[in-house]
């Protein structure tokens, strides 16, 4: 089993280069088709000059800038993907990046996204949080300060929920390539024994797919996200697979504590499914 098609939002200029390089490397290793999405939009503009021709000139200048940015992104994508075995695909439009990628992801098995650092401009960037919650595809969030993804040692952050089951199935192509997988359930202190049984069931299911998996469980001590990250460090993992838990409120995504903690760190890559 493998991912046959990968997708990413391509930003123009140096700021988009690291994600593009990582996506090309993964597409090469998986022998997958890489699909680049160029998308950018300017925020709603209210003109109050009183002069229609001036307002028209401003709008035309903004549109020209966006089209130039999209061409720059396309050129960078074309150069970066020239050596891939499978032909790369491109599509572009004047729209917000996250909705554009979510719509286009019907053609992809996996979305690759950059971890959000600082304030995100939704008119120029595709926040991984939006992609995870709206695209209906697994999202590989590449850590901003991590080493290149090797995926040899992977932690599955297990929780007996729909989201975790979805993430486990979505991550199988990477889990099957890993040298060792740790199925980890972090729970309340009075639930550790039952958690070990659940993690064992998951590990055995993975073993039937040829995955070298072992189960474990530990108490959260009030910080489940921190405990997952600590166990991942001790295991030497550079990838954590987890379900994403959240909902929308007044147009803003509100996430659970574990999801927030995983997204806030900058050194371990994540594969998230909702």
Q: Which is nearest to 227 in space by CA: 194, 195, 179, 180?
A: 195
Q: What is the pTM of this model?
A: 0.93
Architecture of domain 153-273: 3-Layer(aba) Sandwich (3.40)
**3-class SS of residue 148:** coil
Q: Locate the domains of the chain by residue range.
A: 5-142, 153-273
Q: Which fold has domain 5-142?
A: Rossmann fold (3.40.50)
Report d(CA 51, CA 92) in Å as an integer: 32
The tens place of each residue's pLDDT in the chain, 274 residues long, gives 789 999 999 999 999 999 999 999 999 999 999 999 999 998 876 555 555 555 677 778 888 999 999 999 999 999 999 999 998 999 999 999 999 999 999 999 999 999 987 788 999 999 999 999 999 999 999 998 989 999 999 999 999 999 999 999 999 999 999 999 999 999 999 999 999 999 999 999 999 999 999 999 999 988 999 999 999 999 999 999 999 988 777 667 788 889 999 999 999 999 999 9
Half-sphere exposure of 72 (CA within 13 A, CB side): 14
């Amino acid at each position: 089993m493998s991912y046959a098609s990968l997708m990413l939002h391509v930003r123009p200029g140096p700021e988009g280069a690291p994600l593009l390089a990582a996506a090309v490397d993964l597409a090469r290793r998986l022998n997958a088709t890489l699909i680049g999405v160029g998308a950018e939009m300017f925020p709603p503009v209210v003109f109050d000059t009183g002069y229609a021709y001036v307002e028209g000139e401003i709008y035309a200048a903004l549109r020209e800038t966006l089209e130039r940015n999209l061409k720059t992104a396309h050129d960078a994508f074309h150069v970066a993907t020239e050596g891939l075995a499978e032909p790369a695909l491109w599509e572009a439009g004047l729209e917000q990046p996250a909705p554009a990628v979510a719509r286009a992801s019907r053609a992809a098995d996996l979305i690759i996204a950059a971890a959000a650092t600082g304030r995100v401009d939704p008119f120029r960037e595709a926040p991984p949080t939006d992609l995870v919650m709206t695209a209906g595809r697994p999202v590989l969030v590449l850590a901003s300060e991590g080493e290149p993804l090797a995926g040899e040692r992977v932690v599955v952050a297990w929780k007996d929920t729909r989201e975790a089951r979805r993430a486990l199935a979505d991550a199988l192509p990477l889990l099957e390539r890993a040298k060792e997988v740790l199925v980890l359930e972090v729970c309340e202190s009075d639930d550790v024994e039952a958690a070990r049984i659940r993690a064992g069931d998951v590990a055995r299911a993975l073993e039937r797919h040829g995955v070298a998996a072992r189960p474990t469980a530990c108490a959260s001590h009030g910080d489940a996200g921190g405990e997952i990250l600590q166990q991942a460090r001790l295991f030497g993992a550079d990838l954590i697979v987890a379900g994403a838990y959240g909902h929308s409120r007044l147009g803003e995504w509100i996430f659970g504590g574990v999801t927030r903690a995983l997204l806030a760190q900058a050194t371990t890559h994540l594969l998230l499914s909702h």
